[in-house]
Structure 1
Amino acid sequence: MTPFKAQTFTLGETLTPEQIAFFNEYGFLHFKHFISKEVVALFLKEAKAVEENFFARSVDKINGVPLKFGQDLDGSRLIQRLCFTSQYSTVLQEYLRDPRIQSLAKLLGGNARIGENEKDGLVFNHYVRGENSKFTSMGWHTDSPRDLFLGQKINKMLNIGTHLDDCLQKNGGLKVLPGTHKQNIFQTLFRKKQFIDHNPDINEVGFDIEAGDLTVHDGDLWHRVEASPFVGEKSRRRVMYVPIVTGKYDPKHENSKTPLYQRFAKYVVK
């Protein structure tokens, strides 16, 4: 692999050859100012409305996928991991049809598509460090091997992150190991202890993220979410992820079973 040099991009209507080459080499991309601050505020409002809807109906899982609950800094109830969020918001549904997001499927080619109704759909993660928060970090992992728990072969995928809070590298957040998307299957599965290992890696790369930025990472790329060193409001990080998937179309529905790995996720995800 070529020595890593940090670089950010702007995403237009289609990917540039430079952006494709960077992704192929390192396994991720960071696009600045993908959405405006006004749109960020709108998305946060939509996610809050979905959360309140779930609380009102005492929902604890969607399409077989458990929600992750916690408490906000003021002690109020908080859903720290929402799934299939766009199914409950026309605003977020329309966002996933943005031609710029659709263009990212080109990184995988073939039948790659936005997985709005597959895997966990559009996931809204809400990290905050407070006295009773239960979701402050996520250990090293890769995304693609989850197919194995569903009795399927590993299919190539991407995760597209829309960041809704500023998060400089010093505030924790997303860390990746550049180039590990090109490793063999054994390393994809066992290079580190999936979700359990939270230790920093000498080769990891962080991001200076602003609200409105977009990140893309290959599902085979090792990555983690580092806990903020701060406690309180300064630690708050909200981000939406949606997969771009390949292989046979496999939508989730209200009668979908809870995958085994998600039943035990509470024991390995902090």
Structure 2
Amino acid sequence: MKKTTPKFEYKTFTLGEALTEEQKQYFQKYGVIQFKNFISNETAELFIAELGKIEANWLAEGVEKINGIPLKFGKDPEGKDMIQRMCFTNKHSDVLAEFLKDPRFELLLEFLEPYEGRMGSDEKDGLVFNHYINQPNSKFTQMGWHTDSPRDLFLGQKILPMLNVGIHLDKCPSSNGGLRVLPGTQNQSMLKLLFGKKQFIDHRPDPREAAFEIDRGDLTIHDGRLWHRVEVSPNFGEKSRRRVMYVPIITGKYKPKSSTSKTPFYHRFAKVVTK
């Protein structure tokens, strides 16, 4: 029987001391959920300052990779060098490392049941900082449709459930671009999971896609098997700025990265799949 994706009912939630049945059922149905006010405005400013220090150090030292993962470089609105994608930032900031110990993250493991999940603070790309700016000399303005599963195949691993947890450091209404998903596609067949769209290359809007009204401090979680993309902002320069931290919650065998880790070969395609 042909699978159909459910009609999306956009709702936001507040994360308390435990997940509610409504929250679990919502995530199971759509593969995505948004929690309001996960961090305060002051905490977001603190994280931005910490990330700025890391960026300045890496630029001064000429760092190009962290634990084998290439950084993405571009220019800020003033034309100065900037890093638009930074990985393993939690390994270079006590503040960010401590943040990942927040007990509320442990609650999210329930979204992976019956699998046993864990915070990927030293696996995959660790705590990633994505910094989107739309301008002529920017290298990172959007990201095409993709699922997070093919990366496991490239690494010779079985596709297992995982979560991508986003901590949003800027207000981002849907009118300014940002996250787009195809709700319910986490339950698609393996064929559609891998070939439903041209991974990263296809940037076209989909009539089934859902957008989000995001405020600074919000938390979004999506299943790694869900088709998702990042829409380019219609604005330019400072108005287009969007800063998001992502950390994976993963299952399967523990595979930490270190300074001796090799660069996964799929990063060779980075120039093709990002703009």
Q: 1:254 aligns with which of 237, 247, 259?
A: 259
Q: Once the 2 structures are TM-superposed, how far is the Cα of residue 2 of structure 1 from its aligned partner?
A: 4.2
How many residue pairs match? The answer is 270
Q: How does 1:52-201 map to 2 (within 5 A)?
A: 52-109=56-113, 110-201=115-206
Q: Please say if 1:238 is aligned against 2:243.
A: yes
The runs of 4+ residues in structure 1 deviating greater than 2 Å are: none
Deviates more, 1:214-223 or 1:145-154: 145-154
- CA-atom RMSD in angstroms: 0.9
Q: What secondary structure, in the 3-state scheme, does the structure 2 residue paired with 1:215 have? A: strand
Amino acid aligned to 1:251: P
Amino acid aligned to 1:222: W
CA contact (8 A) 2:14 2:37 kept: yes
Q: Please say if 1:264 is aligned against 2:258.
A: no
Deviates more, 1:94-103 or 1:21-30: 94-103
Q: What secondary structure, in the 3-state scheme, does the structure 1 residue paired with 2:84 have? A: strand
Can you list the C-alpha shifts for 1:221-248, whole angstroms capped at 9, x where unaligned?
A: 0000000001111100000000000000
CA contact (8 A) 2:201 2:272 kept: no
Amino acid aligned to 2:156: G
Unaligned runs of 5+ in 2: none
**TM-score (ref. length: structure 1):** 0.98
Q: Once the 2 structures are TM-superposed, how far is the Cα of residue 162 of structure 1 from its aligned partner?
A: 0.2
Give the structure 2 partner of residue 204 of structure 1. Answer: 209
1:12 & 1:76 partners in 2: Cα distance? 41
1:128 & 1:69 partners in 2: Cα distance? 11
Give the structure 1 partner of residue 29 of structure 2. Answer: 25
Q: Once the 2 structures are TM-superposed, how far is the Cα of residue 136 of structure 1 from its aligned partner?
A: 0.2
**TM-score (ref. length: structure 2):** 0.96
Q: Once the 2 structures are TM-superposed, how far is the Cα of residue 85 of structure 1 from its aligned partner?
A: 0.5
Q: Once the 2 structures are TM-superposed, how far is the Cα of residue 53 of structure 1 from its aligned partner?
A: 1.4
CA contact (8 A) 1:96 1:102 kept: no
Identical counterparts, % of pairs:
61
1:131 & 1:181 partners in 2: Cα distance? 35
Q: What secondary structure, in the 3-state scheme, does the structure 2 residue paired with 1:131 have? A: coil
Can you list the C-alpha shifts for 1:115-148, whole angstroms capped at 9, x where unaligned?
A: 0010011000000012211100000000122101
2:7 & 2:84 partners in 1: Cα distance? 36
Unaligned runs of 5+ in 1: none
